[in-house]
Amino acid sequence: MPAVFICICTLASAQMGIDLAALNESGQIVIGGHSTPYLIRHLPPSSFPQLPMVIQDELTDRGCLIPQTYEAHRPENVIHGSFEGPGTSDWAVLCSVHGMVSLLVFFGSNPEHPYTLASEPETERLQTYDLSQSLGFNWGIDRASPGDVSESQTRIFPPPPPLTHDAIADSVVEHSTIYHYYSHGAWTLVQTQN
């Protein structure tokens, strides 16, 4: 794990009295007849002081921990953007509870009732990342501006309408990205070149 990530997390955990090692999930999975070790690092919602308190409280009430990708250099998988519409202040978070991870979206207009866009076992989101063939968590989310999404779209005929606000980039590290976009009261997936 990169030293920068360890330093940031160690400082934050010392200030909050949190044992980060106790938040990690590790084990073995059989792949191709061989037992392969995995490690998933987690952070508590309190590690993200930029999150509004109402959202931190909701995540804590649910028992959420925030899984970190194997390549994390700083705390990640908590993002802020205008996901409901232009100029809104919304949040998206990967929330892990008892081995299940969900992509939750909290609109500023109703933060007590998040949308769940995807959910699956954490062990379905593992991939090899180093020469020792260890497995790490590979699901990451980022804010994507309309320009970011437009650059990724395939040539679709007829072309889709232009995006007016942010989307959520939902990625498998070093592989593919899909975009979740909210419009007219519903979530859609935006087609890309992947």
pLDDT of residue 66: 97
Output the pTM of the full model.
0.83
Please choose, from the candidates 45, 55, 46, 41, the residue with its C-alpha nearest in 3D space to the C-alpha of residue 1.
Answer: 41
DSSP code per residue over 55-121? HHHHHHHHT-BEEE-TT-SS--SEEEE--SSTT--EEEEEEEETTEEEEEEE-TT-TTS-EEEEEEE
pLDDT in tens, 47-75: 999 999 999 999 999 999 999 999 988 99
What pLDDT score was predicted for residue 153?
60
Residue 142 falls in which region: left (phi positive, over 0), alpha (psi -120 to 50) or beta: beta
What integer pLDDT is reported at residue 7 of this predicted model? 38
- Output the CA–CA distances (angstroms, integers) from residue 190 to 82, 93, 154, 182, in the order listed: 16, 19, 10, 10
Tokens 């990205």 correspond to what residue?
177
Alpha-carbon dihedral angle through residues 46, 48, 49, 53, given to the nearest 10 degrees? -60
State the number of CA atoms in the 13 A half-sphere of 69 facing the CB: 19
Strand 78-81 to strand 126-128: parallel, antiparallel, or no bridges (unpaired)?
unpaired
Provide the pLDDT for residue 4.
37
| Whole-number pLDDT of residue 159 | 55
Q: Is 144 helix (H, G, I), strand (E, B) or coil?
A: strand
**What does the alpha-carbon distance between residue 167 and residue 84 come to, in Å, rounded to a whole number?**
9
The distance between the two most distant Cα atoms of the chain, rounded to a whole number of Å, is 55
Low-confidence residues of the chain, pLDDT below 50? Answer: 1-16, 155-157, 194
Q: Which residues contact 74 (CB under 8 A, 6 or more apart)?
A: 4, 5, 8
